[in-house]
Structure 1
Amino acid sequence: MLDEIKEQPHILSRLLRRFFRDDFSINCDIPLSDEEIRGISDITVVASGSSKNVGDVAASYLRRFLNIPVRVEFSSEFCADNSFISKTSFVVAISQSGETTDTYEALEAAAEKTKYTLALTNNSESRLHKASSYQIMVEADKEKSIAATKTVTAQLLCLMAFGLFLASKRNVEKLSLEKTVAELRKLPEGIESILENCGDIQKTAEKINKSSGILFVSKGSCVNALREGALKLKETSYIMTEVLPSGEALHGHFALLDNTRTLVSAILDGVFYDTEVENTLYMKEKSGANLVVIKNAQNKEIEDKFEKDRTYFINIPGAEEYVEVFYIIVVCQLLAYYISRSLGFDINHPRYLSKVVK
């Protein structure tokens, strides 16, 4: 798992070169006419597990890029209700292996209603890849660890590139697209800096590894990035986790916290910074829980706002939110790895779980 976490800067660099040309044009190799792209009314992502979390993280950015409705559905539920799909809908099915049964069945159900289906997989020989109208290969190389890591960030970048490709054909302002691409190109260097300074993450993991439960909170898309982190902890360390917007956590949910549990809060610079600090302070003071704050590295002042007792800080580079979500995911991958290792579990082969890799 750790080796695959460390591969991410290289894999993302390769994908960035593939999708984004020097002139900032975007290449997804999807044979759609401009007229067809402008006629897309909505997008639905169907996926399971980590791939579902990827869809949730990307959805808000796709809405902003395209200004159309974007929804994310569990593959296993899509067949029960897909009444919202029309002939102008675009359905994206995400699966690392391309062999996930419920995702394949969801794609088949979608194909009965729309000709616009896309498979996002790491396996060009998979039935999902072959059954879809369009394909984007993740190209993350073989992932052996059952807990997905490098395929997660690769899927996320592919999905964002797909959204930007559509946006470039829908008369979205060119300067806005160029800025977004320029920011995404910072990803490999930013993740490298996290990997080079993961000692603090390891120390934090060893401080909270006996937690009876962990509550993850933040704002916006960072909540969905933390949801992927929570899944990694469940898979590798068997710790009960919950993920909520920090404002919603105050409505009863944080009563679960006590001094045997941990609160993980991603508090990043931005318009909601003060609110996130206030909400996190309140939950920490009321519950006495361990506190882990994921923060921007350049923000030193935040450390003075919290009592030092059982409070730990993890730094990520400052960036646009659509880049910071990648950093949060990588931090949580490392946190899960080091917690699992400190508890002596089989990190690469968690109990009850299996994986299709071809």
Structure 2
Amino acid sequence: MMKEIHEQPKAIEDTIAKYISGDKINLSEVGITEEDAKNISQVYIIACGSAWHVGMEIQYVLEELAQVPVRVELASEFRYRTMSLDPNALAVVISQSGETADSLAALRMTNEKGLKTLAIVNVVGSSIAREADHVMYTIAGPEISVATTKAYSAQLICGYLLTLKLAEARGKLTDQKQMTYYINEIKSIPAKIKKILDEKERLQWFASKLSNAHDIFFIGRGIDYAVSLEGSLKMKEISYIYSEAYAAGELKHGTISLIENGTLVIGSLTQSNLYEKTVSNMVECKSRGAFLVGLTTYGRYNVEDQCDFTIYVPKVDEHFVGSLAIIPLQLLGYYTSVAKGLDVDKPRNLAKSVTVE
């Protein structure tokens, strides 16, 4: 897993190189025309596990930049629902292996109902890639560890590029300078991930303190909530520590009753417009005895006034900061598992590709 964490900058660089030429996004290989993009009235993102978390994050970016309604669906639930689907919608199915049973079944259902379908997959020639109308490949290379890292990061990049292309085709992003800015920000992500990895020893030290934790709560709002979902999954699946992710504003609706002295609460704080709100929610947890960890970008040093431990990531456009914020959480999960003497690459009861229900 650590090897694959360190391979993320290259996986992102290779995926960017496939779809960006100079300062232009080229999705001709994917096959969605400008006319197709203009006619899309809704997007359904369908996935399982970490791929669903990618969808949750892309939802916020897609709705804001392309101004198209988005629904993110768990494939295992979506395939059994009886509901009307927008005939002009685009169904985006995300899967690392391209063989995930529920995602494949959901793809077949949307195909039968006549929706345009797009697969974001890592394995060339996989079932989902073959059966979708359009395919956007992540160039992550083989991923062996059960807990996904580099495939997740490459899927995010595909989601960003698809968003920008749809926004451009739909007339929502017409300023070429703005488009160039977004592309350059995405291109800067690999180098910024390398910077985070260069400073991982501090996270290793902190993770050694987590090995006796009984439960951990990850909280955030907007994109930070999506980051929290993935961070929580990484922690629980390889360290076996019970962890949950919550939209920070939902704490008062029951969850805060679980906070007691010493409970670890990790707050993701990368979104400027939601920063103060989430800090306020974290302070409420602290007043009930929680140990607070803040994850934010360099420059927001006032977070140290409230948090017991702070993790910083480099600045990037806030639409794309999830690609950076997830890296420390991957490392925390990894180092906590190692501190407990567990098999990081093959956690109990889990398979790399879920090909049965």
Relative distance call for 1:228 and 1:269 in structure 2 (3 A) is closer
Cα distance in 2 for residues equivalent to 1:329 and 1:203: 18
1:92 aligns with 2:89: no
The answer as to whether partners of 2:224 and 2:271 remain within 8 angstroms in 1 is: no
Deviates more, 1:180-189 or 1:142-151: 180-189
Residue aligning to 1:262: 264
Cα distance in 2 for residues equivalent to 1:163 and 1:269: 19
Residue aligning to 1:245: 247
Residue aligning to 1:173: 173
Cα distance in 2 for residues equivalent to 1:115 and 1:250: 39
Q: How far is the alpha carbon of 1:342 from its aligned partner?
A: 0.3
Q: For structure 2, which runs of at least 5 residues remain unmatched after alignment?
A: none
Cα distance in 1 for residues equivalent to 2:23 and 2:153: 24
Deviates more, 1:69-78 or 1:295-304: 295-304
Deviations 1:245-265 (Å, cap 9, x if unpaired)?
222213331221223421001
The answer as to whether partners of 1:147 and 1:348 remain within 8 angstroms in 2 is: yes
Cα distance in 2 for residues equivalent to 1:82 and 1:34: 31
Residue aligning to 2:65: 65
- Calculate percent identity across the aligned residue pairs: 31
Q: How far is the alpha carbon of 1:137 from its aligned partner?
A: 0.9
Relative distance call for 1:294 and 1:169 in structure 2 (3 A) is same
Deviations 1:109-150 (Å, cap 9, x if unpaired)?
000112411111111121111111111111200000000110
- 1:295-306 alignment runs, 5 A limit: 295-306=296-307
- 1:176-325 alignment runs, 5 A limit: 176-268=178-270, 270-286=272-288, 288-306=289-307, 311-325=308-322
1:32 aligns with 2:32: yes
Relative distance call for 1:82 and 1:178 in structure 2 (3 A) is farther
1:78 aligns with 2:81: no
Residue aligning to 1:329: 326
Relative distance call for 1:282 and 1:86 in structure 2 (3 A) is closer
Residue aligning to 1:150: 150
Length-normalised TM-score, structure 1: 0.94
Cα distance in 2 for residues equivalent to 1:119 and 1:97: 11
Aligned partner of 2:156: which letter? Answer: L
Q: How far is the alpha carbon of 1:87 from its aligned partner?
A: 2.4
Deviations 1:218-270 (Å, cap 9, x if unpaired)?
12111111101111111101111111122221333122122342100112361
Q: Secondary structure at the match of 2:208?
A: helix
Please give the root-mean-square deviation of Cα atoms over the aligned residues, in Å: 1.7
The answer as to whether partners of 1:266 and 1:294 remain within 8 angstroms in 2 is: yes
Q: How far is the alpha carbon of 1:327 from its aligned partner?
A: 1.3
Deviations 1:38-87 (Å, cap 9, x if unpaired)?
11111101110111111111111111122111111111111222524232
Runs of 4+ in 1 over 4 A off after TM superposition: none
Cα distance in 2 for residues equivalent to 1:32 and 1:339: 43
Relative distance call for 1:304 and 1:18 in structure 2 (3 A) is same
The answer as to whether partners of 1:85 and 1:114 remain within 8 angstroms in 2 is: no
User: What is the aligned residue count?
Assistant: 352
Cα distance in 2 for residues equivalent to 1:28 and 1:193: 33
The answer as to whether partners of 1:18 and 1:27 remain within 8 angstroms in 2 is: no
Cα distance in 2 for residues equivalent to 1:114 and 1:105: 15
Residue aligning to 1:354: 351
Cα distance in 2 for residues equivalent to 1:222 and 1:233: 16
Residue aligning to 1:105: 105
Residue aligning to 2:126: 126
Aligned partner of 1:239: which letter? Answer: I
Cα distance in 2 for residues equivalent to 1:33 and 1:349: 41
Q: Secondary structure at the match of 1:87?
A: coil
The answer as to whether partners of 1:89 and 1:114 remain within 8 angstroms in 2 is: no
The answer as to whether partners of 2:46 and 2:103 remain within 8 angstroms in 1 is: yes
Deviates more, 1:129-138 or 1:254-263: 254-263
Q: Secondary structure at the match of 2:24?
A: coil
Aligned partner of 2:246: which letter? Answer: L
Relative distance call for 1:260 and 1:274 in structure 2 (3 A) is closer
The answer as to whether partners of 2:14 and 2:140 remain within 8 angstroms in 1 is: no
Cα distance in 2 for residues equivalent to 1:8 and 1:179: 22
